[in-house]
Amino acid sequence: MSQDERAKKRPALLRVAFLLMGMVGFLTPHLISAVVVQSAAAQLEHLAQSRRPQKALKPPAAKKPRIDYSRFTHSSHVTQQKLSCDSCHKFPTKNWKEVRKVDSAFPDVAEFPEHTSCLSCHRQQFFARERPAPAICSNCHLSVTPRDTARFLFPSLGDISDSLKPMRDLIPEFAVNFPHDKHIDVVGLSTPLLNPVGRSDFVRISWQEKSAPKADPPKSCPICHQTSQPQGTSSEEYITKPPKDLGDAFWLKKGTFKTLPNSHAVCFTCHNAETEIAPAPSDCNACHKLAAPQTQSPQAGIPLEVVRVLKADFDPKLAQTIGVTDMSILMTWQRRISAGAFRHEGGEHPDVSCTNCHQVANMNTIDRKTLRVPVRSCGGAEGCHVTATTDDGGILNYEIDQKKANPGFVCTKCHISFGKEAVPRDHVEAVPPPNPKVKSSL
């Protein structure tokens, strides 16, 4: 483009530039005022909202606790899922002829439920990408590896020991409903129960005590309850070696406890398919009742049972100090709601009938407070530990007198932890009133 042509277009470009500048000058105040108006409107709206009643903010929804599938519980299956026992447990299990020797084998629930019982609800947990294996497998299997499929011994096989298949330490969830009053006379007959023809499942046993006390007829208690770790001919009477400076302090002795049935062996002697005595072996919930959960926190490394609110005369720290490792003793000891230091094999106790202390007619194994031994039974026919006065030799009388004189006195004759508490009313009421003095007839 030549210089003359550029000179001719310059005035036109100047006019366009001036026109644009004029439009900007005209529109700028309007744009600014619009922004100001919008800002003011926003402030007014904010003030209006601040004066309105604020709606209560909903708290964030609580996160559901993560389920630990390595800790199986019956409560979640029975209470929440409403599952019946036979939906998982089959009677008898396929291995019942293998777990016991041929002569002593009997149809029993002797194995954990099969995988098919669990897969319908827990397929996701079974195929979880967890190493070395899904956590849910550890409920039944020892090593929890694909190569080792060995399982723990089923909990009802307490009469069997297998070093290759130990029993898993479990916190019992069930209380056993056993009516003592219905069994004590039937099982205590002078003749053994009839064994069905052709059966070799059970060995005949004596249904009487070897040396029944003269004051009481023969009863059947020893069939289920025998002395645990009796003294025998041992020269060492303690469970573990006590310290040299023990003095009069408490240390657990042998022969303190009685055993409890730990399998179906004795029960199925009478309750089996041949005798048809109810309840049948397949009726699990006739005996096993889910206990109300009231968990005591484990102390000193001792797993405690799921128990009811009743306290036990038991000190887990003392048990650890003594070095008690037998789980059956620990479980029995921490259930004692009467006298934690009482020895069944102590003094003249072996010569006293079980029914002299235990009120069989009132015992309900589901309600633990009915199992409490009344303190008046400690008096005995001749006033063994409870007498009319302290001068007569009663230890209960002596300790009550000491408590009255010094509330800080600790009763140690019978108790482990209860001795620090105030004397219960039933202890005071157990002391018989002294005989009134005979007045002279002169």
Residue 211 lies in a domain: no
| pLDDT surpasses 70 at 207 | no
Burial class of 98 by CB neighbour count within 10 A (0 to 12, 13 to 18, 19+): exposed
The predicted-structure confidence for 99-124, as pLDDT tens digits, reads as follows 998 888 999 999 999 999 999 899 99
Residue 88 lies in a domain: yes
Helix (H) or strand (E) holding 11: helix 3-51
- On whether residue 154 sits in a domain, the answer given is yes
Domain around 160? 69-170
- pLDDT tens-digit series, residues 67-77: 889 889 998 89
Is residue 346, in this structure, part of any structural domain at all?
Answer: no
Is position 80 within any domain?
yes
20 or 27: which carries more pLDDT confidence? Answer: 20
How many percent of the chain have pLDDT more than 90? 38
Q: What is the pLDDT of residue 191?
A: 38
Q: How confident is the model at residue 211 (pLDDT cuts 50, 70, 90)?
A: very low
User: Which of 105, 102, 440, 370 minimizes the C-alpha distance to 264?
Assistant: 105
For residue 166, cis peptide bond before it (omega within 30 degrees of 0): no
Q: Which residues contact 250 (CB under 8 A, 6 or more apart)?
A: 318, 341, 412, 416
| Whether the Cβ atoms of residue 313 and residue 417 lie closer than 8 Å to each other | yes
Token readout for 77 is 């299956």
Q: By three-state DSSP, how is residue 302 classified?
A: strand
Tell me, yes or no, whether 114 lies in a domain: yes
The structure tokens listed for 115 are: 């995988």
pLDDT averaged over the chain? 79
List the structure tokens of 385.
């530990």
Q: Please, which residues have CB within 8 angstroms of residue 64's CB and are 6 or more apart in sequence?
A: none
- Residue 8 in any domain: the answer is no
| pLDDT for the residue 147 | 78
Residue 148, in any domain of the structure: yes
- Give the phi and the psi of residue 43 in degrees, each rounded to 5: -65, -40
pLDDT band at 10 (very low <50, low <70, confident <90, very high): low
Q: Report CA-CA distances (Å) from 399 to 160, 389, 421, 427.
A: 45, 12, 12, 10
Q: Residue 196 and residue 141: Cα distance in Å, rounded?
A: 37
List the single range of 111-120, 216-225, 300-309, 393-402 with lowest mean pLDDT.
300-309
Nearest to 80 by CA among 27, 29, 121: 121
Give the separation between CA 365 and CA 176, rounded to whole angstroms: 6
Model-level pTM?
A: 0.70
Report whether pLDDT(347) > 80.
yes
Q: Which amino acid is residue 344, in one-letter code? A: H
Predicted pLDDT at 243: 94
Over 90: is that where the pLDDT of 94 sits? yes
pLDDT tens digits, one per residue of 395-434: 999 999 999 999 999 999 999 999 999 999 999 999 988 7
User: In whole angstroms, what is the distance from residue 374 CA to residue 338 CA?
Assistant: 8
Domain count, the chain: 1
- Work out the average pLDDT over 164-182: 85
Lowest mean pLDDT among 30-39, 145-154, 209-218, 257-266: 209-218
User: Token pair for residue 223?
Assistant: 């069939």
